[in-house]
Amino acid sequence: MTDGGTYTLPHDLPGEDERLTLMSEMLDPQLFFRLTQAGVAEGWRCLEVGAGNGSVSRWLSGQVGPAGSVLTSDLDIDLLKKIDLPNVTVRKIDVTTGDLGSGYDLVVARALLHHLPERHAVVARLADAVRPGGVIVLEEPDFHPVLATDSPTLKEFWKGWLVWADRHQIDYFVGRKLPAMLVAEGFDEVRAYGETILYRGDSLTARYLEATMRELHESLQASGFIAESVWSDAMTLFRNDGFWSWQNSYVTSIGRKSPTRQPA
Ligand SMILES: C[S@@+](CC[C@H](N)C(=O)[O-])C[C@H]1O[C@@H](n2cnc3c(N)ncnc32)[C@H](O)[C@@H]1O
């Protein structure tokens, strides 16, 4: 969830900085590949929302060069303030209500919309910020692969996790919904690609999963949706380097704004 007070993983949670670092290491290669495929080039004017530690904005800064610019933003800009690059501007923006500006060649968001109950309205706001002919790139989770695990313990864990998420208005199946939303917002050439990591216990992905679950342990325990024994067995599997299983898929949706789309 969002609006600063209710976002489930605020930056001041112990370990959140490290968790975001793991997230960037895990997801940056796929997103950089897709952004390149989407045509990011020198001179582009870009907006990133919910940028976390800014790893994507830093990369964009190098791609767009001195003639381009990147406005990087988040509800909490403590980590973004560390960016010192001449073509990057840091701004605190609540994507649900704040002024996003307009006329961007690229608007990008990763791992943000699933947290926002008002995600449909936010997609419309992001779409408005793209210039006619410009590009939007949205990467969000879709949790369908996690239930395909061979481990009954982990299956039980993920089932409880998904109920917990639903109660917090987190949509872990939003990845599959975004392409149709982009078409409805007047984007052409809409395509989407899912990448699912088959992770090994004790790997980068397993450490990211463990860090996430440890940060949320209290809330998960209080919810009653995951028994304590199931939680601790799952943590043991995340550390077992003989164990392999599916991570959730991350779906990257790309579209080009129709040059004739009328503003909403
Ligand atoms: C899961 S993190 C993802 C960070 C980054 N996009 C990445 O993929 O590495 C979600 C981020 O969204 C931010 N966020 C949550 N609600 C927001 C809102 N309403 N407006 C802007 N940012 C928000 C959080 O502060 C956090 O940095």
The CATH number covering residue 170 comes to: 3.40.50.150
Mean pLDDT of 145-154: 96
Separation of CA 162 and ligand 1 centre (Å): 20
Contact of 253 with 137, CB cutoff 8 Å: yes
Write down the pLDDT at residue 13: 81
In a domain? residue 11: no
Write down the pLDDT at residue 173: 98
Residues with CB under 6 A from ligand 1: 2-3, 7, 11, 20, 23-24, 49-52, 74-76, 94-96, 110-112, 115
In a domain? residue 263: no
CA quadruple 99, 29, 166, 207: dihedral, nearest 10? -120
Write down the pLDDT at residue 144: 96
Q: What is the pTM of this model?
A: 0.95
Question: Residue 135 above 50 pLDDT?
Answer: yes
In a domain? residue 123: yes
In a domain? residue 32: yes
In a domain? residue 9: no
pLDDT per position as a tens digit, 62-108: 999 999 999 999 999 999 999 999 999 999 999 999 999 999 999 99
In a domain? residue 2: no
Question: Residue 262 above 70 pLDDT?
Answer: no
Query: Cα–Cα distance between 256 and 188 in angstroms, integer?
Result: 5
Question: Residue 4 above 50 pLDDT?
Answer: no
Separation of CA 62 and ligand 1 centre (Å): 22
Cβ of 5: how many Cβ atoms within 10 Å? 8
| Total domains present in the chain | 1
Q: Provide the residue range defining the domain that includes 238.
A: 16-257
In a domain? residue 195: yes
In ligand 1, the atom with minimum distance to the C-alpha of 2 is 16
